[in-house]
A and B are shown apart, each in its own frame.
Chain A
Amino acid sequence: MDSPNILEIKDLHTSFFTDSGVVKAVNGVSLNVPRGKITGLVGESGCGKSMTAKSVMGLVRNPGRIESGSILLDGKELVGLPEKELRKLCGDEVSMIFQEPMTSLNPVIRVGRQVEEALRIHGGISSHAEARKMVVEMFQKVGIPEPEERYSAYPHELSGGLRQRVMIAMAMIRNPKLLIADEPTTALDVTVEAQILRLMKQLCEEQGMSVLIITHNMGVVAEICDEVYVMYAGRIVEKASVFSLFDNTAHPYTQGLLASIPGLYDNPEYLHTISGVVPNLKRLPSGCAFHPRCEKAFGRCSEEQPGLYPVEEGHLCSCFLSERQ
């Protein structure tokens, strides 16, 4: 209870052992989710950001496994915990929202029932009438219009935005200490995305919930996050508060990423690009994984793995250029 962080990941290594080699999906990630704040984990596809979340939830499947490291949830170690205890602990304290709500809802059960089930298993509420009342209240809270009627709707009868709201209701009703949202708005349209982001921020503020949001969209990060971790090829390359990250971008990868986004207020002839492609996690480049694509790379980058160096208060960057400062 003393720690200011609800979730502390230390030097996590999660790898997949395939026929053709070891895929180091998470390669020494350390990450903290402070209480009552929204923390963002941002990176391109295949950088290991989803796998980090799955490691926390114990959802890493064969041939993958957590090799080493520690995951402290509210001070309790999760790595090495038996499946059953992990389920219970995670179920009580952590909720997860997935990218595509359709695949995480059972298509043949009414959505109200599904949310109710989550409540009964983890909330210890047995009476149906009471549970139903709470579900309807929660539906109202997450902005589902006509919650009474929606209670008995099937998932396919709802639009994408409504389904995502149901998922959020399901995640929220257990009153979790930590909410992990894996690309919660990627499948949604911009107007609905804006609604959902506002809802998440509002719920976080009202209930003092901690959120870890995983996304590839820098716009989403800028919109709602407090703290941001940038991931590249299984490692954290930069960690900063959201303002520090955008105002004082330190890592060349983050700089390139931000410069690649077409803006609404400028009219460039061509966009900035990061040359090359994301490295294959089976054959990581030596030294800094970003050096083959980096414009500022020098000799040392290909030989040595950079550590995390402070740029300013609470802003860390894994680049030798930051070490000199």
Chain B
Amino acid sequence: MTEKYKKQETRDELLSEIGDYDGLKEKIIRMYRNNRLAAFSAALIILMILLAVFAPYIAPYKEAHQDLLMRLQPPSRAHLFGTDELGRDVFSRILYGARVSLVIGIFPSMISLLIGIFFGLIAGYFGGWIDYVIMRVADVMLSFPSLLLAMALMYTLGRYANSVLCIFGALSLVGWASVSRVVRSVTLSLKETEYVDAARSIGVGRPKIMLRHILPNCIPSLIVLYTLNVPSCILSESTLSFLGIGVQPPAASWGLMVNQSKQYLFTMPWLALAPCLTIMIVVLAFNFLGDGLRDALDPYLKKG
């Protein structure tokens, strides 16, 4: 009986026990298969990004190209969505506007994500007064209406800085608070897990524990948070531009286009409808994608 332990699992038996591995990639592929809406949304977003990047090549007219003879045309073959009061092609302006909207949707969210991860990890891992200070600042940021902050920035700095940059700053400044809250709560629970204890017992240093063990396990929640943050940024930009304090003409932006077309709302509704529908479709696409990713990624840890 003494040598029994040597008769350990043979390879085949062990392999038969090995489960099917679902990595991040497989999860996303599965989502693609199971959640058609999310997959379609992802495709739509990619298409939108491509259209925005290649706008100068795709758009039939230049952004600010005016043709005063062709003012306020209904949709036609030459002008897919008609023209506005200065005879500018609405379709082309929507393509150019996508550049502003997507940049403002994607980058400030990313900046606020990075800031939020940094402060969230520190607050959650170290706790104590560091946590207290960071979280109180975050509370202040959260209770601050982001649009109001953006407006204030715009009025004070509008003269010196590009308006897009101001929106950038305002949105990044406000967005990190909610990210850091999520990261902090995940960190707090992960900090207590045995595998973090195990890493500590081995002698792994604090920065490494945070970056190697805690952060990667935050990623599913962060992806979801990010995809849901993008549309709210796009909406903020549109709102600011609609209110006339965002992107300034002649540059194109969806919000600005809605603003300019509001006087023709009843006579020439396509002018307002085109940018409105675009905003709606893009925002919904991001939301659906976020939902899909959440369903696909969240069970990861529960299952593990």
Task: Check A-B contact in the complex, CB < 8 A.
Answer: yes
Please tell me the number of chain A residues within 8 Å of chain B, measured between CB atoms: 16
Given A20-B20, A275-B7, A292–B2 Cβ distance below 8 Å? no
Residues on the A chain within 8 Å of B4, using CB:
270-273
Q: Which of B2, B4, B10, B17 has the most CB of A within 10 A?
A: B4
Cβ of A283 and Cβ of B16 under 8 Å apart? yes
Residues on the A chain within 8 Å of B19, using CB:
280
Question: Which residues 273-288 of A sit at the B interface, judged by CB distance below 8 A?
Answer: 273, 275-280, 283
Cβ of A279 and Cβ of B16 under 8 Å apart? yes
Given A20-B20, A279-B16, A292-B13, A273–B5 Cβ distance below 8 Å? yes
- With both beta carbons as reference points, the residue of chain A lying nearest to B19 in the complex is identified as A280
Q: Any chain A CB within 8 A of the CB of B69?
A: no
Q: Any chain A CB within 8 A of the CB of B301?
A: no
Question: Which residues 139-172 of B sit at the A interface, judged by CB distance below 8 A?
Answer: none
CB distance from B18 to the nearest CB of A (A): 8
Q: Out of A20, A271, A276, A283, which one reaches B9, CB within 8 Å?
A: A276
Cβ of B17 and Cβ of A280 under 8 Å apart? yes
Q: Out of B1, B5, B7, B13, which one reaches A277, CB within 8 Å?
A: B13
Cβ of A277 and Cβ of B14 under 8 Å apart? yes
Cβ of B16 and Cβ of A272 under 8 Å apart? no
Q: Any chain A CB within 8 A of the CB of B8?
A: yes
Given A270-B2, A270-B4, A270-B5, A276–B20 Cβ distance below 8 Å? no
Cβ of A275 and Cβ of B1 under 8 Å apart? no
Given A20-B20, A275-B8, A293–B1 Cβ distance below 8 Å? no
CB distance from B98 to the nearest CB of A (A): 37
Cβ of B5 and Cβ of A280 under 8 Å apart? no
Q: Any chain B CB within 8 A of the CB of A299?
A: no
Residues on the B chain within 8 Å of A314, using CB:
none
Q: Any chain B CB within 8 A of the CB of A219?
A: no
Cβ of A275 and Cβ of B9 under 8 Å apart? yes
CB distance from B261 to the nearest CB of A (A): 49
Residues on the A chain within 8 Å of B9, using CB:
275-277
Cβ of B1 and Cβ of A272 under 8 Å apart? yes
Residues on the A chain within 8 Å of B14, using CB:
276-277
Q: Out of A268, A270, A275, A277, which one reaches B17, CB within 8 Å?
A: A277
Task: Determine the main DSSP class of B at the interface with A.
Answer: loop
Q: Out of A269, A270, A272, A276, which one reaches B13, CB within 8 Å?
A: A276
Question: Which residues 1-49 of B sit at the A interface, judged by CB distance below 8 A?
Answer: 1-5, 7-10, 13-14, 16-17, 19-20
User: In the docked arrangement, what's the CA distance between A20 and B303, Å?
Assistant: 15
CB distance from A254 to the nearest CB of B (A): 17
CB distance from B13 to the nearest CB of A (A): 4
Given A20-B20, A283-B16, A276–B5 Cβ distance below 8 Å? no
- With both beta carbons as reference points, the residue of chain B lying nearest to A21 in the complex is identified as B20
Question: Which residues 163-201 of A sit at the B interface, judged by CB distance below 8 A?
Answer: none
- With both beta carbons as reference points, the residue of chain B lying nearest to A295 in the complex is identified as B7
Cβ of A269 and Cβ of B16 under 8 Å apart? no
Cβ of B20 and Cβ of A293 under 8 Å apart? no
CB distance from A255 to the nearest CB of B (A): 13
CB distance from A314 to the nearest CB of B (A): 31
CB distance from A111 to the nearest CB of B (A): 28
CB distance from B33 to the nearest CB of A (A): 10
User: In the docked arrangement, what's the CA distance between A283 and B17, Å?
Assistant: 9
Residues on the B chain within 8 Å of A275, using CB:
7-10, 13
Residues on the A chain within 8 Å of B2, using CB:
269-270
CB distance from A21 to the nearest CB of B (A): 9
Given A275-B9, A276-B10, A277-B9, A268–B1 Cβ distance below 8 Å? yes
CB distance from B219 to the nearest CB of A (A): 23
Residues on the B chain within 8 Å of A278, using CB:
17
CB distance from B30 to the nearest CB of A (A): 8
User: In the docked arrangement, what's the CA distance between A41 and B127, Å?
Assistant: 48
CB distance from A286 to the nearest CB of B (A): 12
Q: Which of A20, A268, A271, A276 has the most CB of B within 10 A?
A: A276
CB distance from A16 to the nearest CB of B (A): 14
Residues on the A chain within 8 Å of B17, using CB:
277-280
Residues on the A chain within 8 Å of B5, using CB:
270-271, 273
Question: Which residues 17-71 of A sit at the B interface, judged by CB distance below 8 A?
Answer: 20
List the 9 closest pairs (A to B, CB-CB), nearest first. Answer: A276-B13, A275-B7, A277-B17, A269-B2, A276-B9, A20-B20, A270-B2, A273-B4, A270-B5
Chain A residues proximal to chain B, CB less than 8 Å: 20, 268-273, 275-280, 283, 292-293
18 A–B pairs (Cβ distance < 8 Å), ordered by A:
A20-B20, A268-B1, A270-B1, A270-B2, A270-B3, A270-B5, A271-B5, A272-B1, A272-B4, A275-B10, A276-B10, A276-B13, A277-B9, A277-B13, A277-B17, A279-B16, A279-B17, A280-B16
